[in-house]
Structure 1
Amino acid sequence: MPPSRARATTALTLLLLATTACTTAEHEPRPAPHSPPVYGQAEQLRLPLDAYASTVAETHLVEDAQDILIRRCMNDRGMEWKTLPRVDPRDTQPPNLRRYGADEASAVRYGYHPRPDPPSVARRNRAWDERDALPAEIQQAAYGRSGTGGCLKTAQHQLVGDTAPPDYDAFNQLTGTALETARHAPEVRDALRTWHTCMAKAGFDYPDPFAAAGSERWETAEPTAAERATAREDVACQKSAKLVTVWAAAETRTQRRLIQQNADRLHEAKARKDRWLAAARRVLNHGGG
């Protein structure tokens, strides 16, 4: 079975605390170091630890380069290998879109449900599904019995030699710690209380935005009218409480402290990530597609 797919099991995805937050997307220009995040622009929200994360676009880049090398290896074994269709970088979501709760842009149409996959993402997902259904002998040649061997192992060695994969645990652990630590900052607790009072006045009893977004009521195939109404009120109360601005400012301070405390580990993780990316770009620039 394929060892990774960016849509579901990528090691680059942020592990959050019972949230539906998304953490990966293309790099975009960062705000000035001392500029506070602006509410209403969640799609542009950037946090200090983002510099040490890998985006979905970067995950795809490495997968695409490996795929070219896997195809060569499989062809040498007399087997065909269909490479994954490329994803338009514009189809990847921003890294912190739902980090503090509902996404304002999606609430009206989708409630708490994720937005539908754009066409290029859907095509790649279908290609992963097709790989899951490949005959056992093809999958074993490509990935070995363990899922990390076969032509994949050969491709990775050709790509980066003995360089270990990036240490994504460093980012995941620290960003989860930062989110939870900032959540308990006095100003964030005040903003959450303001949000809760606002929701209560509208007839909704949720302790925080994560509980609202994660309610079992929304486990439906399609968003319901009640879900959309709740999500709309949720984002309106977030806006009135200035929750995103307050929380992001508190977390920015926390993340900067954690970066200082873990500088060596983060530096090494970023160096390894950069080596993988540079190698992948060389293959894609010279190896075709």
Structure 2
Amino acid sequence: MSPSRAQATTALALLLLATTACTAGEHASTPVSHSLPVSRQARQLRLPLDAYASTVAENHVVEDAQDILMRRCMNGRGMEWKALPPVDAQDTEPPNLRRYGADEAAAVLYGYHPSPDPPSVVRRNRAWDERESLPAEVQRTAYGPSGKGGCRKTAQHQLVGDTAPPDYRAFNQLTGTALETSRRAPEVRDALRRWHTCMAKSGFDYPDPFAAAGSERWETAEPTAAERATAREDVACQKSAKLVTVWAAAETRIQRRLIQQNSGRLHEAKVRKDRWLAAARRVLNRDGG
């Protein structure tokens, strides 16, 4: 994995680990839709701590700006540098997708399996893969012998000077704490009991939506009819119990308290993130369109 991709993947993995429930493994041949199936509720769900982490789209902005500067550096050394293809706006996952369990739009089609990547995401991932097979000389020029130098280091310095990369440790810690704390809130426990009762009426015995989504039964190459039926009932019971609405309100209250208690750490992290993003947008506006 190229260093720049490794950095982006690590940050995103930490973010997703803190904000999403477990789902079943990859599936092989389900047809790819033209955009991600995501409900309006998931698209609109925002939590206070979101301001302190980068969205997938914001990560792409930084990557694209660095690409412009990388290409300039590589061209100056007599080498080509192919820019990453863009990802369509509707193809990026919202930050809190599946935070409280399965999402209705994807559950109907894929059960608890992850939705297939849309074409624009597939193209960008393929471009990352192609970079990992570049000739050794090109890789050294791009990343240096250590993987932290070369044109990548030059581009990063041109982008933000000595500003360190965004640090999401505070966000990841606090968003995980908020999720677990809100889960124990009386109103959320009541909503989970309503969800459990609703599921039990249809013959399902799961303690919560995370247990339903993480069942070993769904570790199949493709979503089964039983999986889809379970997921459909799951999201129907979420609606009946008003689970997402209740849980999001409880967690919003808890996150606001955590932000007040950790304002210093979070402010520093946000300043760094905003500097990178603003610098990237300046490069794109000036040189990339």
* Bin for the TM-score computed over the shorter chain: 0.7 to 0.9
Alpha-carbon separation, structure 1, partners of 2:70 and 2:112 = 38
What residue in structure 1 maps to residue 36 of structure 2? none
The CA deviation at 1:282 is 1.3
The CA deviation at 1:40 is 7.0
What residue in structure 2 maps to residue 61 of structure 1? 61
What residue in structure 2 maps to residue 138 of structure 1? 138
CA 1:17–1:163: 2 relative to 1, 3 Å = closer
Q: Deviations over 1:240-268 (max 9, x none)?
A: 11111111111011000000011111111
CA 1:234–1:287: 2 relative to 1, 3 Å = same
- Are residues 1:237 and 2:251 paired? no
Q: Is the 8 A contact 2:20 2:96 kept in 1?
A: no
The CA deviation at 1:150 is 1.9
What residue in structure 2 maps to residue 14 of structure 1? 16
Alpha-carbon separation, structure 2, partners of 1:275 and 1:8 = 17
- Are residues 1:214 and 2:219 paired? no
CA 1:249–1:44: 2 relative to 1, 3 Å = same
Letter in 2 for 1:14: L
CA 1:132–1:220: 2 relative to 1, 3 Å = farther
Alpha-carbon separation, structure 1, partners of 2:11 and 2:196 = 34
What residue in structure 1 maps to residue 129 of structure 2? 129
What residue in structure 2 maps to residue 44 of structure 1? 44
SS at match of 2:17: coil
- Are residues 1:258 and 2:261 paired? no
SS at match of 1:15: helix
Q: Is the 8 A contact 1:104 1:232 kept in 2?
A: yes
CA 1:146–1:201: 2 relative to 1, 3 Å = farther
What residue in structure 2 maps to residue 171 of structure 1? 171
Letter in 1 for 2:17: L
The CA deviation at 1:5 is 3.9
Which runs of no fewer than 5 residues in structure 1 stay unpaired? Answer: 22-38
Moved over 4 A (4+): none
Alpha-carbon separation, structure 2, partners of 1:155 and 1:269 = 22
The CA deviation at 1:283 is 1.1
What residue in structure 2 maps to residue 113 of structure 1? 113
- TM-score, normalised relative to structure 2: 0.88
Which runs of no fewer than 5 residues in structure 2 stay unpaired? Answer: 24-38
The CA deviation at 1:2 is 1.6
Of 138-147 and 123-132, more deviation after overlay is shown by 138-147
Alpha-carbon separation, structure 1, partners of 2:8 and 2:111 = 21
RMSD: 2.1
The CA deviation at 1:221 is 2.3
What residue in structure 1 maps to residue 28 of structure 2? none
CA 1:151–1:86: 2 relative to 1, 3 Å = same
- Are residues 1:273 and 2:273 paired? yes
Q: Is the 8 A contact 1:20 1:99 kept in 2?
A: no
SS at match of 2:11: coil
The CA deviation at 1:157 is 0.6
Count of aligned pairs between the two proteins: 272
Q: Is the 8 A contact 1:4 1:10 kept in 2?
A: no
SS at match of 1:114: coil
Q: Is the 8 A contact 2:185 2:250 kept in 1?
A: yes
The CA deviation at 1:6 is 9.0
Q: Is the 8 A contact 2:74 2:151 kept in 1?
A: yes
The CA deviation at 1:148 is 2.5
Q: Is the 8 A contact 1:6 1:56 kept in 2?
A: no
Alpha-carbon separation, structure 1, partners of 2:173 and 2:188 = 21
- TM-score, normalised relative to structure 1: 0.88
Percent of residue pairs bearing the same amino acid type: 84
Q: Is the 8 A contact 2:20 2:98 kept in 1?
A: no
Of 6-15 and 162-171, more deviation after overlay is shown by 6-15
